[in-house]
A and B are shown apart, each in its own frame.
Chain A
Amino acid sequence: MTSAITVGEGVDSPYALSHLDALESEAVHIFREVAGEFERPVILFSGGKDSIVMLHLALKAFAPAAVPFTLLHVDTGHNFPEVLAYRDRVVAEHGLRLHVASVQDYIDAGKLRERPDGTRNPLQTLPLTEAIQQHRFDAVFGGGRRDEEKARAKERVFSLRDEFSQWDPRRQRPELWQLYNGRHAPGEHVRVFPLSNWTELDVWQYIAREDIDLPQIYFAHEREVFKRSGMWLTAGEWGGPKADESVETRLVRYRTVGDMSCTGAVDSDATTLDAVITEIAASRLTERGATRADDKMSEAAMEDRKREGYF
């Protein structure tokens, strides 16, 4: 259903695109700009809904030809098994090439040390940066959205990173019209965010419209969880629960999918896409506020991680 004509109470001409068509067209334009101007682009693919939507858009942008990008997954070693299975299924289905950078390998080799709180999200930056250097990726697509977090609200669609992957918010290039400046020196790369202007609700509405398959953990299911820092974390080998944390079985779903150690589930009985959309439209919490322990650490937690080269 890509029919674009929407007439809203007679105010818009028949040529006005629906908001989903406008966002889709913008994202496709961004993918094609990168394909036209870069040598070695890669899509960061976590198996989360934003990266799934990115891949869907990339497939549409280049059909009937193949997507001219590879995928990169930074595997924390604490990923949800359902999500890894989904990742492998999608890669096989579309004949894609997947690179995996493993946090566990870095820990085993002594290049990274486990944090006392067991959270592995911040540990992803080094494997990510080294994978970019090793494969000489010059454009790296991320699923970040400006509505997610205040440090992302000022992120560019094309965001230049130095050879250490660092982000300097004061040295960002102004971005005018739809003219994206991807010039970079050897060793530097550009992070590209095709979903910059999408909100969480847009992502879900688009998933529903396009009938995109998602990992099952996005829908309500029974799960053994325990409470930590006000969030329901999944019980498992990764390090929870501690002695004073009690496990219970609850009906939950995930709003975001990341490392099991810091991604919380929300109580939900939403088993279908429509139910999920209804739930999000009524929610009074942002998805990061509801489910991400790592963003609660300080006012500028995200900015600090982004400066260091995080997604």
Chain B
Amino acid sequence: MSNSVDTAVQLADLSATTLLRFATAGSVDDGKSTLVGRLLHDSKSVLTDQLEAVEAASLKRGQEAPDLALLTDGLRAEREQGITIDVAYRYFATPRRRFILADTPGHVQYTRNMVTGASTADLAVVLVDARNGVIEQTRRHAAVAALLRVPHVVLAVNKMDLVAYEEKVFASIAEEFTAYASELGVPEITAIPISALAGDNVVEPSANMDWYGGPTVLEHLETVPVSHDLTSCHARLPVQYVIRPQTAELPDYRGYAGQIAAGTFRVGEPVTVLPSGRTSTVAGIDLLGESVDVAWTPQSVTLLLADDIDISRGDLIVPSGDAPATTQDVEATVCHVADQPLTVGQRVLLKHTTRTVKAIVKEIESRLTLDDLSQHPNPGQLVANDIGRVKVRTAEPLALDAYADSRRTGSFLLIDPADGTTLAAGMAGESFATHKVLTTVEDEEGWDF
């Protein structure tokens, strides 16, 4: 409690901070645990009893220094095998912002974990070892960020201390990566030279790299914009639940509850309900007890409409004149996340926003190797961690956006109707911003694993 003045200052600031969700991908070899450990430690988010527990556990397995990976590798199997098998969520705060970190393992057999972590991230940190530069794994991580349309990517060129803090080493890696990621369609890339171990440019600016004038990793995390210009987005409200009090005071109240998935809604605006196509006008917006004239993503609201029309869970409310086309034929990129395979002809459930419909996998057009962006036509099936292009036919029409336009209304899950397993994560429309990044490789017949 020695720093009560600092604390008072922080409190004033903490009450008005924004939230940034970000993901890290990499392996222990890249120094990811060291980077994450330093961010948590230097922002004082690791508390004494947690550190003591980590120290005791590290000692027990004969390690001298506390192994910060043990902070997140919480499952018995992970501790016993010394590996990360799942996405670990970590929480920390600075006076300027609150952070939710999805910490994911980097190896190819954990692509599904990386995809999961990236799906909700506003920013992804890709780590490279300055001695190795851009390698296959780096290209895969960039491709996952591009595929999932993560708006901001940070390239952390780590272990600069081992290349004598040389500017030209950093510059050539940054240039190669930026060219690659830009071509994939990553809209914003920030390269930062760091040494996670020595602490250069992680939280504090480095004294060893005066040639670098940009932000530290933490400064960048604290200042990167978390929301975009919503006025140009397509407004979307998937209806979750119809609120009908049916009380003596409110006999006729019907409110359409949902979280605004994209864009803004205003009172007085003409709206269309999909898939029925019925139209009405926004008569009121209830923002969790407060009546407002305008609301935007990701606020949870209750919309009141001027007309009494039939609306239920699974419907999508959109501005009239900005409605997505409805379709029963979905073309998408999927990441297969289950242990059992996805096959052509398989009957599945497709969950899109608040709507779940029956569907059938019509075609698996290709499997995509993220390391070199090669497409392998007609693989017959997809197995865990595969990325592929599929065509799915649904039993009912869906109001589906392109994932590139709207992450929330362009994404879906494929679910096994028999046991409820989540089979695949789907993104409607094109995989990347441009087609020319992809090459096609015909595999030898029958031998494609």
Residues of A whose CB lies within 8 Å of any CB of B are: 2-4, 6, 8-9, 11-13, 15-19, 21-26, 28-29, 32-33, 35-36, 60-66, 146-147, 149-154, 160, 169-170, 172-179, 181, 183-185, 196-197, 199, 201-202, 205, 209, 277-279, 281-286, 289-290, 299-300, 303
Can you pick out 24 interface pairs between chain A and chain B where the beta carbons lie within 8 Å of each other?
A: A11-B223, A12-B18, A28-B300, A29-B300, A62-B241, A63-B288, A64-B245, A65-B243, A65-B253, A146-B89, A153-B74, A153-B90, A169-B77, A170-B77, A173-B420, A173-B422, A174-B113, A176-B115, A176-B413, A178-B120, A185-B420, A285-B49, A286-B50, A300-B75
B125 at the interface (CB under 8 A from A): no
- B74 near A154: Cβ-Cβ < 8 Å: yes
In the complex, what residues of B have CB within 8 A of residue A61's CB? 257, 288, 300
Q: How far, in whole Å, are A11 and B75 apart by their CA atoms in the complex? A: 38
Q: Point out the residue from A2, A8, A176, A282 that lies within 8 Å of B1, measured CB to CB.
A: A282
Q: Which residue of B lies closest to A145 (CB)?
A: B91
B7-15, B169-177, B373-381, B391-399: which lies at the interface: B7-15
Q: Which residue of B lies closest to A27 (CB)?
A: B300
Q: Point out the residue from B1, B98, B224, B227 that lies within 8 Å of A13, measured CB to CB.
A: B227
Q: Which 3 A-B pairs rank lowest in CB-CB distance, beginning with the nearest?
A: A183-B420, A150-B74, A289-B49
Q: A8-B16, A169-B75, A197-B91 are in contact. Are A36 and B354 (CB under 8 A)?
A: yes
Chain B residues 90-110 with CB under 8 Å of chain A are 90-91, 93, 96-98, 100
In the complex, what residues of B have CB within 8 A of residue A33's CB? 240, 354
In the complex, what residues of A have CB within 8 A of residue B74's CB? 149-154, 303
Q: Point out the residue from B8, B15, B57, B422 that lies within 8 Å of A181, measured CB to CB.
A: B422
1/0 per residue B98-142: CB within 8 Å of A?
A: 101000000000001101100110000000000000000000000
Q: Which residue of A lies closest to B80 (CB)?
A: A300
1/0 per residue B52-81: CB within 8 Å of A?
A: 010001000000000000011111110100
Q: Point out the residue from B90, B287, B298 that lies within 8 Å of A26, measured CB to CB.
A: B298
B425 at the interface (CB under 8 A from A): yes
Q: Point out the residue from A18, A36, A175, A185 that lies within 8 Å of B116, measured CB to CB.
A: A175
Q: A15-B230, A23-B19, A25-B299 are in contact. Are A60 and B88 (CB under 8 A)?
A: no
Q: Which residue of A lies closest to B6 (CB)?
A: A282
Among A176, A181, A289, max chain B CB count under 10 A is at A176
In the complex, what residues of A have CB within 8 A of residue B240's CB? 29, 32-33, 35-36
- B225 near A11: Cβ-Cβ < 8 Å: yes
Q: Point out the residue from A3, A22, A172 that lies within 8 Å of B86, measured CB to CB.
A: A172
- A181 near B14: Cβ-Cβ < 8 Å: no
Q: A60-B289, A176-B411, A282-B7 are in contact. Are A299 and B79 (CB under 8 A)?
A: yes
Q: How far, in whole Å, are A290 and B47 apart by their CA atoms in the complex? A: 11
- B75 near A17: Cβ-Cβ < 8 Å: no
Question: Nearest Cβ distance between residue A194 and chain B, in whole angstroms?
Answer: 12
Q: How far, in whole Å, are A173 and B87 apart by their CA atoms in the complex? A: 11
Q: A26-B298, A282-B3, A303-B75 are in contact. Are A6 and B351 (CB under 8 A)?
A: no
Residues of B whose CB lies within 8 Å of any CB of A are: 1, 3-4, 7-8, 10-11, 14-19, 47-50, 53, 57, 71-77, 79, 85-91, 93, 96-98, 100, 112-113, 115-116, 119-120, 222-230, 240-241, 243-247, 250, 253, 257-259, 264, 287-290, 296, 298-300, 313, 337, 349, 351, 353-354, 407-408, 411-413, 415, 419-422, 425
- A197 near B313: Cβ-Cβ < 8 Å: no
- B420 near A299: Cβ-Cβ < 8 Å: no
Mostly, the B contact residues are: mixed
- B419 near A176: Cβ-Cβ < 8 Å: no
Q: How far, in whole Å, are A198 and B17 apart by their CA atoms in the complex? A: 14
In the complex, what residues of B have CB within 8 A of residue A300's CB? 75-76, 79
Q: Which residue of A lies closest to B421 (CB)?
A: A173
- A181 near B413: Cβ-Cβ < 8 Å: yes
Q: Point out the residue from B1, B299, B407 that lies within 8 Å of A17, measured CB to CB.
A: B299
Q: Point out the residue from A12, A26, A65 that lies within 8 Å of B225, measured CB to CB.
A: A12
Q: How far, in whole Å, are A60 and B15 apart by their CA atoms in the complex? A: 21
In the complex, what residues of B have CB within 8 A of residue A150's CB? 71-74
- A174 near B116: Cβ-Cβ < 8 Å: yes
Q: How far, in whole Å, are A29 and B298 apart by their CA atoms in the complex? A: 10
Question: Nearest Cβ distance between residue A163 and chain B, in whole angstroms?
Answer: 14
Question: Nearest Cβ distance between residue A158 and chain B, in whole angstroms?
Answer: 10
Among B76, B97, B240, B349, max chain A CB count under 10 A is at B240
In the complex, what residues of A have CB within 8 A of residue B313's CB? 36
In the complex, what residues of A have CB within 8 A of residue B87's CB? 154
Q: A25-B259, A173-B422, A197-B100 are in contact. Are A153 and B49 (CB under 8 A)?
A: no
- A285 near B298: Cβ-Cβ < 8 Å: no
Q: Which residue of A lies closest to B77 (CB)?
A: A170
In the complex, what residues of B have CB within 8 A of residue A149's CB? 74
Q: How far, in whole Å, are A14 and B313 apart by their CA atoms in the complex? A: 30
- B298 near A22: Cβ-Cβ < 8 Å: yes
Q: Point out the residue from A4, A9, A184, A290 that lies within 8 Å of B96, measured CB to CB.
A: A9
Q: Which residue of B lies closest to A4 (CB)?
A: B299
Question: Nearest Cβ distance between residue B449 and chain A, in whole angstroms?
Answer: 22
Q: A150-B72, A184-B420 are in contact. Are A278 and B7 (CB under 8 A)?
A: yes
Q: Which residue of A lies closest to B353 (CB)?
A: A179
In the complex, what residues of A have CB within 8 A of residue B258's CB? 29, 32
- A25 near B298: Cβ-Cβ < 8 Å: yes
- B93 near A201: Cβ-Cβ < 8 Å: yes
Q: A153-B89, A176-B411, A183-B415 are in contact. Are A286 and B47 (CB under 8 A)?
A: yes
Q: Point out the residue from A19, A63, A201, A299 that lies within 8 Å of B57, measured CB to CB.
A: A299
- A28 near B415: Cβ-Cβ < 8 Å: no
- A174 near B425: Cβ-Cβ < 8 Å: yes
- A286 near B415: Cβ-Cβ < 8 Å: no
- A18 near B14: Cβ-Cβ < 8 Å: no
Q: Point out the residue from A16, A28, A199 that lies within 8 Å of B259, measured CB to CB.
A: A28
Taking A36-B240, A278-B8 as given, write out 9 further A-B residue pairs in contact, using a Cβ cutoff of 8 Å, ordered by the A residue number: A22-B18, A26-B298, A29-B258, A35-B240, A149-B74, A150-B73, A153-B89, A179-B353, A299-B79
Q: Which residue of A lies closest to B257 (CB)?
A: A32
Question: Nearest Cβ distance between residue A295 and chain B, in whole angstroms?
Answer: 10
- A8 near B17: Cβ-Cβ < 8 Å: yes
Q: How far, in whole Å, are A175 and B86 apart by their CA atoms in the complex? A: 11
Q: How far, in whole Å, are A41 and B405 apart by their CA atoms in the complex? A: 35
In the complex, what residues of B have CB within 8 A of residue A173's CB? 420-422
Q: How far, in whole Å, are A281 and B89 apart by their CA atoms in the complex? A: 20
Q: How far, in whole Å, are A289 and B87 apart by their CA atoms in the complex? A: 23
Q: A23-B19, A278-B8 are in contact. Are A284 and B412 (CB under 8 A)?
A: no
In the complex, what residues of B have CB within 8 A of residue A289's CB? 47-50, 53
- B19 near A17: Cβ-Cβ < 8 Å: yes
Q: How far, in whole Å, are A36 and B412 apart by their CA atoms in the complex? A: 18
In the complex, what residues of A have CB within 8 A of residue B230's CB? 13, 15
- B300 near A12: Cβ-Cβ < 8 Å: no
